[in-house]
Amino acid sequence: MVIKKLLKELIPPIFFRINNKFHQKKLYPTFKSYKDALAAAESYEEQDLIKVIVAKTKKYIEQGYSNKVINFNNLSDARTTRTLFAIAAGINKKTITILDFGGSAGIHYFTARQIISDDISLKWCVVETESLVNEAKKQGLENEELLFC
């Protein structure tokens, strides 16, 4: 331990910075342009991915989501927490309008429906890729309160 402390005193800090930079691992790539990043990321239009996302939402609905009790003492469920934050600002209104970007085939809408009173109506628009919108509509997830755009 004493040797390490002595070395730190004797070697100028610039050498430590150079050494640290040299050994630093990149956790994510860096791109020169958005076009390069998009090419590396491929696409969110992958049909298998879209079908899985929509199927998960349908399964959530089919399992009787509205009958499940949410434990507000432990909000470790990120979806529930995000949905609570989204609706909290408008909870004293009779209608809440939500514009949901990348809304996982409406899962946040169905979570909100579970949390808030039926007396409050929702205007919920999920903005998604064209492929996901088409699949969600095809699977019958859209209703008078939930739209996909």
Phi, psi of 26 (to 5 degrees): -85, 125
Any domain includes 13: no
Percentage of residues in the chain with pLDDT exceeding 90? 14
Indicate the pLDDT class of residue 102, thresholds 50, 70 and 90.
Answer: confident
pLDDT at 19: 60
125: tokens are 């628009």
Total domains, the chain: 1
Any domain includes 138: yes
For residues 19 and 87, give the distance between their C-alpha atoms in angstroms, rounded to a whole number.
Answer: 49
Any domain includes 114: yes
For residues 132 and 49, give the distance between their C-alpha atoms in angstroms, rounded to a whole number.
Answer: 9
Any domain includes 142: yes
Any domain includes 14: no
Q: What is the mean pLDDT of the chain?
A: 76
Any domain includes 17: no
Q: Is the pLDDT of residue 80 over 80?
A: no
Q: Is the pLDDT of residue 93 over 70?
A: yes
pLDDT tens track for 10-55: 666 665 566 666 555 555 677 788 788 777 776 667 788 888 888 9
Helix (H, G, I), strand (E, B) or coil at 103: coil
| pTM of the complete model | 0.59
Q: Is the pLDDT of residue 148 over 90?
A: yes
Any domain includes 98: yes
Q: Is the pLDDT of residue 146 over 90?
A: yes
Q: Is the pLDDT of residue 92 over 80?
A: no
For residues 111 and 61, is the Cβ–Cβ distance under 8 A?
no
Any domain includes 38: no
**Which domain, by its residues, includes 91?**
44-148
